[in-house]
Amino acid sequence: MPRTQLLGHIDMDTREWFDGVLTNSARQVVKEPKEVQSWIICDGDIDPEWIESLNSVLDDNRLLTMPSGERIQFAPNVNFPVRNT
């Protein structure tokens, strides 16, 4: 999956942001109540092009920084395993 499809992209003509698959999922789970356990699972080949964007999500920061500069902070109730097949 290309990085733009996973994380989203900015239309350079209109400067409008379009969410990707992961960005859309992230927005949904951060809205869940803290007592709800949520999982975002990436299962497949790890693409070096987008894995750098996920480093801060996978470490103690639990923060997704998107290409637009927006940041999504994951609470402890969100689990984010990445499995390389």
Domain with residue 72: its CATH number is: 3.40.50.300
Per-residue pLDDT tens over the stretch 23-64: 899 999 999 999 999 998 877 776 776 676 677 676 778 888
Task: Note whether 55 and 48 are within 8 A (CB).
Answer: no
Q: What is the residue range of 45's domain?
A: 3-83
Residue 5 and residue 9: Cα distance in Å, rounded?
8
Residues 6 or more apart whose Cβ sits within 8 Å of residue 76: 62
Per-residue pLDDT tens over the stretch 61-80: 888 887 778 888 888 898 87
Task: Note whether 50 and 7 are within 8 A (CB).
Answer: yes
What pLDDT, on the 0 to 100 scale, is given for residue 79? 85
| 18 pLDDT above the threshold of 90 | yes
Q: Which residues of 48-63 are buried (b: 16+ CB within 10 A; e: fewer)?
A: eebeebbeebeeeeee
Q: Into how many domains does the chain fold?
A: 1
pTM: 0.74
